[in-house]
Structure 1
Amino acid sequence: MRHIYLINSDSRAAQYGIGTYIIQVINCLSSIDSLRLTVVSMNSEDGILTEKKDNNVRYLTFPKVYDWRSEKEIQRYYRSVAFLLALYVDSSEDNVFHFNYLHHEPLVDLLKKIYPTSQFVLTLHYLNWCFTLKGNIKRLQTVLDKAENDRTEEEKYIYDEYKQEVSFYRKVDRIICLAQYTKMLLNEFYGIEECKLTLIYNGLIDQAIFLGEVERMQRKRHLFFGEGEKLILFVGRLDDIKGIDYLIEAFAKVIKKSSNTRLLIVGDGNYSRYLQMSADIWSRITFIGKISKQKLYEFYQIADVGVMPSFHEQCSYVAIEMMMHGLPLIITNTTGLSEMIHHQNVECRLILKEDQNELRLSVEELSKCLLKIVTDDCWAREVGKLNRCRYKDAFSLEKMRMAFESFYS
């Protein structure tokens, strides 16, 4: 029987997209009778190694090590994990080790030595250079083309990260890409054979609850929003790469023409920077912070439009949640985000201007798109319906489960 070892790590990323992904993969794989599943979690706050079973899924939890000051200590931790894991791995099974983090490459090296006939899979959730360069592929090409002595310190760091990623990609047997864009990038910019690459979009179980207009107004009153207020919703980390500075600037233009509009910002991060940017329009922006999934879904039920002015995304769970709830969604054409919304919603896809130095988003275009949605209810409803259809066609949990069943068959 094929036995999947799903490798996870307690980290900030595990609290966001990767953590959601792990949960959905567990839902998918645990429902496939021909597979066994063990979830391996590292860096746990638990002080000891633990083993438990829940609904035919085995969970192995390895405690956190607090001394990460040197490469030597990191290697020692991964060696400990590899050899302790051997106590729980039946080498007679058809074992597959499924990784999700690029910094786990040392563990791949160790496990490949212990289990040379096993398969190694990586789901690629992020590309490190995208965070530094905001997904600017032209800038990456410029860095790669430069002679070593001509690179700045930042460019040397980017180049080293790129080479490290190439090394990891070549060590694994198969790579799951979350976007067609990423699959193209790995093939053309990293030289990874197309036969190693498989596209599997993220999926979510449908938990959307659609409120009638009366109930929706009651929910808005309960949360102390005005019944007539148009609510623009942003969900995500308060990081530069999410484009929040452009959003705040665009929103300032929107309220000059549609004063009964409010921007809701859900997520944690650098509050002080964005509060300072919002100084002249504080009364129209609500910083909600990080909230539970249940509470977040309440905001999806009352929002009029979702917005993601990001510079880098793969297959965003926030975008999937918004489409699942039938929200109109404004996005950029960055990396994997561009291919997510319905092809007919082209007006909601903003073009990032790209040159060799930076990517830029037009504040004017973003404000126009926001204004059109909050002032044209009929068009907004049609956009939302198309997004709901797109969710069901491409991003449901059943679609994801079928893709994984085919992948691991």
Structure 2
Amino acid sequence: MQLFIIDFNTRASIYGIGTYRKTFLKAISAHDDVEVFLVNVFDAANKLLKIQVNEQYTEIWIPLPETTWISAFSDKNHANKRKYCQRISDVLHRFIHPYTSPVVHFNHSNFSILANELKTRLQANIVFAVHSLNWYFQYENEPAKFAASWKELEEPGNTIFKHCADPEEQRMCDAADKIICLSERTYGFVQRVYQIDADKIIKIQNGLQVPVLHSDPIQLRPRYGLSPDTFVLLFAGRIAKSKGLDFMLKGVERFIATYPDRKIKMLMAGNGDYDPFMSNYKSLWQHIIWAGVLPREELNELYQLSDVGITLSLFEQCSYTAIEMMQFGLPVIYAKCSGLDEMFEDGTTGLGVTVEYGEDFRMSEEQICQHISLLYEQPAFRKALGARGRSAALINYNLSARVADTKQVYQVLNEHYENRLYHTCA
């Protein structure tokens, strides 16, 4: 079987999709019966086609054409876009075995022209993994419109989705032979909003390799200027309003006011728009450590030396941050929103915070404060919650199992092609 994974650099490459690509690529390339190609498109770094044969997969960089290019995301300049997609098709054709149908795996929704080109010219099987939904990013900084779109989704029997449907995402779903969704909520969204048949969609959650735990994480704290008796809270991810940071910081502010004489630190690991949060929460300056984007080894150490993890995103699919927190045995306070509420059992593997959608969305800082206080006051419960979360993560987010599920999707598509080819020849 030949597998071509289409990739290009975006903000998402730093976070969810980037993690998915790196972990999945390494795991699927270890399968001897899969010949893997990583195809970097819209490459602005190289002026010439570049091919590099690695030990387990082949990487291809296809440069942008010399003609004026608008954007990978633009609906303008279709002629140039189509010519570039034909160029990609010509390049990939060199590597395809005769009388076979390659699998082409897309992780972005902006490639319907390329997907249809590869289906037509190369007889490719198209797999589209839905890591994010365009309506979410369209409204992530417009809370009122976000809430309006959420109401559309929640309204029983609604068939008009003026806030939610995205034309390019629709075209990508139509072009795909199989659509992988990371959560039940997204599965329902794709089926309902884009009118995709259920047999074309499959839910496969993210998976990660099980990490090695430090024997005594408290020993890691001096490296980061933290004392053993400090109560450490951790956020990891993009610094943005849509991550629920206003609600989180207000809850933390209330918690610190409840215990004014205790040593408390809030670690913020990730990049983004720091300025509004730094200016709006001056009372927390002595308690917050803005760590920025960290190397993987250091982030893993923060997971282990912290006491509580907090992830209050308003929309997720299958959060890698949540998986990592659970795998490291960190008790998690999470938003009971799409995606995250599927990953935790409230009170058993995490503590959920209710999300209210009205003219705007909101979470109770009082409830956030109560959850932090409970975990602070009851170390035994804190430890047990983290242990149960870790056990759940090792079962539900096993990388080998999730890769095997995805490979099965590829194999079924290949079998369908072989059956069509057999009947055609017969």
After TM superposition, is the score higher than 0.5?
yes
Query: AA paired with 2:23?
Result: Q
Kept in 1, the 8 Å contact 2:110–2:169? The answer is no
Q: Is the 8 A contact 1:28 1:400 kept in 2?
A: no
Cα pair 1:278 1:285 within 8 Å, conserved: no
CA contact 1:267–1:288 (8 Å) conserved in 2: yes
Q: Distance in 1 between matches of 2:273 and 2:150?
A: 28
What displacement does 1:78 show?
2.9
- Counterpart of 1:40 in structure 2 is 39
Displacement, 1:141?
Answer: 4.3
Is structure 2 residue 151 aligned with structure 1 residue 139?
yes
Three-state SS of the structure 1 residue aligned to 2:111 is: helix
Alignment of 1:313-352 (within 5 A): 313-342=316-345, 344-345=347-348, 348-352=351-355
Map residues 88-107 of structure 1 onto 2, 5 A cutoff: 88-107=95-114
Instruction: Tell whether 2:283 aligns with 1:280.
Output: yes
Could you tell me the TM-score, scaled by structure 1's length? 0.89
Q: Which residue of 1 aligns with 2:401?
A: 399
Structure-to-structure mapping, 1:153-232, within 5 angstroms: 158=163, 161-212=165-216, 216-232=217-233
Going from structure 1 to structure 2, the CA distance change for 1:388 and 1:287 (only over 3 Å counts) comes to: same
Task: Point out the more displaced range, 363-372 or 86-95.
Answer: 86-95
Q: CA deviation at 1:242?
A: 0.6
- CA spacing shift, 1:408–1:110, aligned 2, 3 Å: closer
Match of 2:135 among 122, 129, 132: 129
Name the amino acid aligned to 1:124. V
Q: Which whole-Å CA distance do the structure 1 matches of 2:201 and 2:291 have between them?
A: 39
Q: Mean alpha-carbon deviation: is it higher for 395-404 or for 273-282?
A: 395-404
Say if 2:334 and 2:350, in contact at 8 Å, map to a contact too: no
What are the within-5 Å matches in structure 2 for residues 240-255 of structure 1? 240-255=241-256
Q: Secondary structure at the match of 1:283?
A: coil
**Which residue of structure 2 lines up, in the alignment, with residue 23 of structure 1?**
22
Distance 1:91 1:354 in 2: 54
Q: Which residue of 1 aligns with 2:60?
A: 60
Q: Name the counterpart of 1:10.
A: 9
Separation in 2 of the partners of 1:185 and 1:201?
16
The counterpart of 1:353, out of the listed 348, 351, 356, is 356
Structure 1 position 30, deviation (Å): 1.7
Report the CA distance shift for 1:194/1:348 in structure 2 as closer, same or farther (over 3 A).
Answer: same
Q: CA 1:231–1:64 in structure 2 vs 1: closer, same or farther (change >3 Å)?
A: farther
Q: How many Å separate the matches in 2 of 1:287 and 1:301?
A: 18
Against the structure 1 CA distance between its residues 123 and 142, is the aligned structure 2 distance closer, same or farther, given a 3 Å change threshold? closer
> Could you tell me whether the CA contact under 8 Å between 2:177 and 2:200 is conserved in 1?
yes
Q: Which moved more, 1:337-346 or 1:174-183?
A: 337-346
**Deviation of residue 323 (structure 1)?**
0.7
Instruction: Name the CA shift for 1:346/1:204 in 2 (closer, same or farther; >3 Å).
Output: closer
Instruction: Find 2:367's aligned residue among 365, 368, 388.
Output: 365
Unaligned runs of 5+ in 2: 141-145, 412-426
Deviation at 1:405, TM superposition (A): 3.3
Change (3 A) 1:141 1:344: closer
Report the residue type matching 1:199 in the other structure: K
2:295 is matched with 292
Tell me by how many angstroms 1:64 deviates: 4.8
What letter is aligned with 2:114? L
Amino acid aligned to 2:354 = I
Q: Which amino acid aligns with 1:130?
A: Y
Q: Secondary structure at the match of 1:103?
A: coil
AA of the residue aligned to 1:68? W
1:120 aligned partner, one-letter code: I
Superposition RMSD in Å: 2.4
Q: Comparing 248-257 with 342-351, which one deviates more in the overlay?
A: 342-351
The 1:19–1:286 alpha-carbon spacing in structure 2 relative to 1, beyond 3 Å, is: same
Q: State the AA in 2 paired with 1:193.
A: D
For structure 1, list consecutive stretches of 5 or more residues without a partner in the other structure.
148-154
User: How many residues in Structure 1 have an aligned counterpart in Structure 2?
Assistant: 394
